Copies of this chain bind each other. A is one copy, B any other.
Amino acid sequence: MEFVRKARDLYLDTGTRFPRRIIWAMGGLIKYAAAKVNVELGLLSSDVGGAIMKVSQELMSGKYDNEVVLDVYQTGSGTGLNMNINEIIAKHAYLDLGIKVHPNDHVNLGQSSNDVVPTAIRVAAVMEYVESLRPAINDLIVSLRRRINEFSDAVKPGRTHLRDALPITLGQELSGYLDAFLRDVQLLDYVINFVKGLPIGGTAVGTGFNTHPNFGDEVIKVINEVSGLDFIKVNPFMSMKLLTDLVMLSGAIRVLSLDLHRFGQDIRLMFSGPFTGLNEVDIPTQSEVAGSSIMPGKTNPVTVESLLQAIAQILGLISQSSMPQCLGGSLS
């Protein structure tokens, strides 16, 4: 792990490490697919290729997460991440399987950080959406539909500018949120398709120098087989330089976050009181934990406020996604 050893001196060390899903994509799936394709193309012996594939699968499962030690804040290309993974694979191929594997010449064969890292980020993002965010939104929608029925006759004061206006039902108010979330998920489902476009095969500057012309397409086939998803190859001159499809995704998440934030604020306001506030809804779960250290009998909207806090953080990180484009990225 010579690269890693030296890089730790030159990079920042803020203590921030790559999340599980990135290691799964970069460390595991892409290196597995690359080795498999390189063997098929006759560029790698089946011994060496097999060893890489075996260690990659272990990386996918999380076995070596603690060896991905380089800080998240590194070069724009993510060479640190890529080389860290390459060296982990070479090390374990030798130590555990007795096969001599070179991190650059074998594990990284036909690849560049400039194409594999942006590929890995996208594979991780799509998988996270499919497995985590999308199901969570579905649950929310199902739950909201149920509540709308339940409260379709529950008349409550309607307010504008927080001042007395006209009666409304709680079901009607909730229906506004339901339709908003349904619309938000439509946008997310649409935008995720852009994130499925991968630049793999472009190598250093997008021209595919030093790799087999079929490499990118074949790697994507393997990624799709393993993940069950439907990635495609797109113009690497776009996809390596401009990660703005991920900004599209962040924009769709921003809309969802804002709708959720407003939803949370409204619930919190309706839950205010009970004696000195609106007291329009009850949230029985919130009384299961003491709301206060000084008044342990108090009930507070703890789940709602957790949500609002997390959204504040998300919105900050999304606004940050406007920044990196200023760095001049991989090309020019």
Tell me the residues in window 240-286 of chain A with beta carbons closer than 8 Å to chain B beta carbons: 240-242, 244-245, 247-248, 251-252, 254-255, 258-259, 261-262, 265-266, 268-278, 285-286
The 8 closest A-B pairs by CB, nearest first: A316-B320, A251-B251, A176-B237, A326-B326, A158-B205, A157-B276, A162-B272, A112-B294
- Would A175 and B320 be within 8 Å (CB), given that A3-B290, A76-B305, A79-B293 are in contact? no
Q: Of A37-45, A67-75, A91-99, which stretch is located at the interface?
A: A67-75
Chain B residues contacting A244 (CB-CB under 8 Å) are: 180, 184, 255, 258-259
Asked whether A294 lies within 8 Å of B326 as measured between CB atoms, the reply is no
Chain B residues contacting A299 (CB-CB under 8 Å) are: 163
Interface size of A by CB at 8 A reads: 136
Cβ of A295 < 8 Å from any Cβ of B?
Answer: yes
CA distance A133 to B145 in the complex (A): 38
- Would A262 and B289 be within 8 Å (CB), given that A254-B247, A302-B74, A305-B327 are in contact? no
Asked whether B300 lies within 8 Å of A261 as measured between CB atoms, the reply is no
Cβ of A56 < 8 Å from any Cβ of B?
Answer: no
Asked whether B76 lies within 8 Å of A161 as measured between CB atoms, the reply is yes
- Would A207 and B293 be within 8 Å (CB), given that A187-B191, A272-B159 are in contact? no
Of B180, B241, B320, which is within 8 A of A312 by CB? B320
Chain B residues contacting A187 (CB-CB under 8 Å) are: 190-191, 194, 248
CA distance A317 to B321 in the complex (A): 11
